[in-house]
Structure 1
Amino acid sequence: MAVVILNWNGRRWLEQFLPTVLAHADGATVVVADNASTDDSVALVACDFPQVRLIQNADNLGFCEGYNQALEVLRTTAAFRYYVLLNSDVEVTAGWLPPLRTLLEQQPNVAAVQPKILQYSTDTAERAQFEYAGAGGGYLDRLGYPFCRGRLFDTLETDRGQYNDARPVAWATGACLLVRAAAWHAMDGLDAAYFAHMEEIDLCWRLWNAGHEVWYQGSSTVFHVGGGTLAKSNPHKTYLNFRNGLALVYKNSPTSELPSVLAQRLLLDWVAALRLLAQGQVADCRAVLRAHWYVVRHVRHWQLRRRQFPPRLRIAERPGVYRGSLVWAYFAKGKRVFPALNRKLFKKM
């Protein structure tokens, strides 16, 4: 097993969290893949952590291609059965790896699994809250909007053990993702066109369509700083969010459902853009429009990827999918936490 940390100018995170990763690696090889950092990250790893394998990408390739190239290097130089994609701003805990690995070893149909993701903080109350990136497992609504157990939009739940189970989910977070090496390479890794944001949702959707399963394992816990490389709210993230979200449903929705899903997504995106404009967030409004234009201009790429990885599962057939509208449930009906959603609209698992 290789625990692979993608780094870009993240010296402070490596200095803070890499010792804990090494202390709890459970025999795994720890790898830092550097995306052409301009700080002294590489020097820090080489001097202070000689036991860490260092891979240096020639350019800043983004999250997707940065991992793709690093794991291709590992494939050609070592025979790892599993990869762990681990953000540099994640604090792992004692015993975090065995439950994840055991789940994959005991269930051969499972290709990827994530642990429970809580907020990293020095404040005890905040540390008990779920974190945006993955929380208690990733879900999608019928229009492809992602959400998590423990986090609906900006509403975070406190961890009281309510999501300590192990279960199939629609997607698992790239902040801490254990994936079978064979499945990763069969899927061609992450789609580099995403650059960053929602790329793991796309990978997991393709895994489900290919006959694999994706799970959440609540007996493993890590703490994530979140926004360590990109702030939670800025026009660039707005652009990536809307661009990649639209591409996600175009690539992976079955043909019979695609026209309806696209039409509704476009309408809701435009409503969101007008809301941003009304709030004075002009740059974010423009980001939504730029995102749509990008998807239109690059539609050939998404068409080719649809043919390469054909969408097979209808909405009702996918575990971890809410067959209602999360936007309607949250904003119109006031459903602020996962247990408040209508359980009848989830596929039984």
Structure 2
Amino acid sequence: MSDELFVVTVTYSPGPHLNRFLATLSLATDRPVTVIMADNGSTDGAPEEAVERYRNVKLFRTGDNLGYGTAVNRAVAEFGLTSCTDFFIVANPDVQWGPRSIDLLLEAAARWPRAGALGPLIRDPDGAVYPSARHLPSIIRGGMHAVVGPVWPSNPWTTAYRQERADPSEREVGWLSGSCLLLRSSAYAEVAGFDERYFMYMEDVDLGDRLGSAGWQNVYVPSAEVLHDKGHSTGRDPARNLAAHHVSTYTFLADRYPRWWQAPLRWAFRGALGARASLVVRNARRRARRS
């Protein structure tokens, strides 16, 4: 296996975020790095400018806006990453890398030989810690988070699900934010990568669940830090993105309760998520009109 480290990022008109992503990458590791941009149809010229400016950047055009997980899968297959390297990084182009963040993830991977995915501590632009390492959403915990979260953000189910009060210690978790992951190639190959039914949202929850079911671990490594400007992707059309989030949530939950006698449970999921989606989308559109 090569010492070269591959970083896959999915671009869709990333603007100035992409340059900050690439400029700070030198802080994250001393290893030689190749960045693969899986481009989902950018029109702002940022990916092309990045190829001209950075010698270690490759542009892979997916041919359409395929969504996050599908674009990652296509790039991994195109460059044969699961056979040429032990680990690779998947990260959003609006991430900024902290000092030694990738090296610290790799060091943790050596301590956790069954870790299929490892994720850093993620900070919002204001410096707050984003709850990126969470439990898997159970019927009660996940369901109550989904239903009452919009009207009661501090409810105990949301707090437990997001592990907001847990100390930032290195530990195994249910799933990790897909905005920045170190993935073990053998684990990724074993579970066939991201589930391509998810256009956006929940593909990272699903991946973490399937890794765990296959005997791999999802490990939170808060000694490694990155900053994530998550408003880049959600801010373009928040109402549409909120609706997509609820569709993906139903897909995830329905998969976990597929038997015929669980149909009433799936109907309940669909009804509750539909009501929640109507509420949050309506509120998002109202805020957009006011602004």
Calculate the TM-score normalised by the size of structure 1: 0.67
Map 1:21-170 onto structure 2 (within 5 A).
21-31=25-35, 32-75=37-80, 79-120=84-125, 126-127=126-127, 129-131=128-130, 135-143=131-139, 145=142, 163-170=167-174
- Work out the CA distance in 1 between the residues paired with 2:182 and 2:144: 20
With over 3 angstroms needed to count, the CA separation of the structure-2 counterparts of 1:275 and 1:103, relative to structure 1, is: same
With over 3 angstroms needed to count, the CA separation of the structure-2 counterparts of 1:256 and 1:11, relative to structure 1, is: same
With over 3 angstroms needed to count, the CA separation of the structure-2 counterparts of 1:106 and 1:14, relative to structure 1, is: same
In the other structure, the counterpart of 1:15 is 19
* Contact 2:40/2:63 (<8 A) preserved: yes
In the other structure, the counterpart of 2:289 is none
Relative contact order (C-alpha < 8 Å, sep 6+): which is higher?
2
- Work out the CA distance in 2 between the residues paired with 1:210 and 1:50: 38
With over 3 angstroms needed to count, the CA separation of the structure-2 counterparts of 1:57 and 1:206, relative to structure 1, is: same
* Contact 1:163/1:218 (<8 A) preserved: no
Q: 1:265 aligns with which of 257, 265, 269?
A: 269
In the other structure, the counterpart of 1:191 is 195
- Work out the CA distance in 2 between the residues paired with 1:102 and 1:109: 13
Report SS of the residue matched to 2:226: strand
* Contact 1:145/1:245 (<8 A) preserved: no
CA shift, 1:271, in A, is: 4.3
* Contact 1:97/1:220 (<8 A) preserved: yes
The amino acid of 2:142's aligned partner reads Y
The amino acid of 2:133's aligned partner reads G
- Work out the CA distance in 1 between the residues paired with 2:193 and 2:40: 17
* Contact 1:85/1:178 (<8 A) preserved: yes
In the other structure, the counterpart of 1:203 is 207
* Contact 1:136/1:163 (<8 A) preserved: no
- Work out the CA distance in 2 between the residues paired with 1:77 and 1:212: 16
- Cα distance per residue 1:207-226 (max 9 Å; x no partner): 11111111111111111101
- Work out the CA distance in 2 between the residues paired with 1:58 and 1:142: 37
With over 3 angstroms needed to count, the CA separation of the structure-2 counterparts of 1:93 and 1:174, relative to structure 1, is: same
* Contact 1:250/1:258 (<8 A) preserved: no
In the other structure, the counterpart of 1:295 is none
* Contact 1:3/1:28 (<8 A) preserved: no
- Work out the CA distance in 1 between the residues paired with 2:18 and 2:111: 32
Report SS of the residue matched to 1:194: coil
- Work out the CA distance in 2 between the residues paired with 1:176 and 1:65: 16
CA shift, 1:238, in A, is: 2.2
* Contact 1:246/1:265 (<8 A) preserved: yes
With over 3 angstroms needed to count, the CA separation of the structure-2 counterparts of 1:182 and 1:256, relative to structure 1, is: farther
Calculate the TM-score normalised by the size of structure 2: 0.80
Of stretches 44-53 and 20-29 in structure 1, the one that deviates more from structure 2 is 20-29
- Work out the CA distance in 1 between the residues paired with 2:33 and 2:89: 10
CA shift, 1:74, in A, is: 2.1
* Contact 2:82/2:185 (<8 A) preserved: no
In the other structure, the counterpart of 1:175 is 179
Report SS of the residue matched to 1:163: coil
With over 3 angstroms needed to count, the CA separation of the structure-2 counterparts of 1:278 and 1:80, relative to structure 1, is: closer
CA shift, 1:102, in A, is: 1.8
Where does structure 2 lack aligned partners over 5 or more consecutive residues? 287-291
CA shift, 1:229, in A, is: 2.0
